[in-house]
Amino acid sequence: MPEGVQIHLPQGSPLTDIEYETSEPVIPFGCRSGACGACVVEVLDGADALGEADPEETDFLEDLGRADGAFRLACQCRLMASATVRVVEA
């Protein structure tokens, strides 16, 4: 998305539901089960709004070299409040 564009999703929505709100793909997806790493996003603001990462997600992010806590798998996040994320280039 261009900088400054906002998308609103209902509370509790999977972050992957963003695809239903745009005419073009925003976040790349593969397996949608936290096993492929295609949907890694960097959380710029509102990390608490995405729920807590489970141990499997944390381990997988570590395997991908993204273990510093600023990254999540979009397919594993549930949006509970406002958050800002950036898609990580593969």
pLDDT digits (tens, 9 = 90+) for 59-76: 999 999 998 889 999 999
The number of helices, as runs of H, and strands, as runs of E, in the chain is 1, 5
CA nearest 52: which of 33, 37, 73, 31? Answer: 73
Q: What is the pTM of this model?
A: 0.87
> pLDDT-based confidence at 2, cuts 50/70/90?
low
